[in-house]
Amino acid sequence: MVDVRTAHTAYLERSVLAAARGLLDDVFAGDMTDADWEHALGGIHALAWEEGALVGHASVIQRRLWLGGRALRTGYVEGVGVRGDRRGRGVGAALMEQVERVVRGAYDLGALGTTELARGFYAARGWQLWQGPSAALTPRGIERTPGDDGGIYVLPVSVDVDLAAEIVCDWRDGDVW
């Protein structure tokens, strides 16, 4: 039986955060950078436990995304991963239920960047593929991020969105999306 608990980063013990980082390092097979981990901190974590072992993690942090010149308070989903031997058992869905509850309760919009492998998972949950161009508000101004086009999903909460418009994220180190 999987037990999913939520907590803000500030309320998690260092050992739990280290376990979550280790889990994501394993899940992403070396593609989890320090910047990626940093992006997952400072918000609400959903942690899936099974028989005392951490088997899944997801978090939602606050970001600003601009749509049509309007800055939206966005719940941005980060660090979603399930231990390999627990995939296909509903752990990811249980994590996302908690993350989506946070997004719907606190934000105008949910957003996430994903790999091609996970697109069907998010689409089945009602997340919508962003079809317009993506960009980031960098220290040099707004710059296109064409490599991220086709991998951004949104979950509108309190706003109507034009999925074909340009979407702009705030700046951060590492991958901006």
CATH number of 3-169: 3.40.630.30
Q: Check residue 68 and give its pLDDT.
A: 84
Distance CA 1, CA 46 (A): 16
| CA proximity to 96, closest of 126, 73, 117, 64 | 126
pLDDT band at 41 (very low <50, low <70, confident <90, very high): very high
Q: Check residue 69 and give its pLDDT.
A: 85
pLDDT band at 83 (very low <50, low <70, confident <90, very high): very high
Do the bridges between strand 167-169 and strand 3-8 make them parallel or antiparallel, or are there none, so unpaired? unpaired
Given CA atoms 30, 20, 40, 172 in this order, what sign does their dihedral have?
negative
Task: Assess whether pLDDT exceeds 90 at residue 55.
Answer: yes
Residues 74 and 103: beta-carbon distance below 8 Å: no
pLDDT band at 1 (very low <50, low <70, confident <90, very high): confident
Write down the pTM of the prediction.
Answer: 0.96
DSSP-derived 3-state class of residue 130: coil
pLDDT digits (tens, 9 = 90+) for 108-156: 999 999 989 899 999 999 999 999 999 999 999 999 999 999 999 999 9
pLDDT digits (tens, 9 = 90+) for 90-109: 999 999 999 999 999 999 99
Which residue in the block uniquely carries the two structure tokens 């317009």? 132
Distance CA 10, CA 93 (A): 24
Q: Residues of the chain with pLDDT > 90: what percent? A: 95
Angle at 23 between CA 74 and CA 119, to 5 degrees: 50
Residues 16 and 56: beta-carbon distance below 8 Å: no
Distance CA 57, CA 54 (A): 8
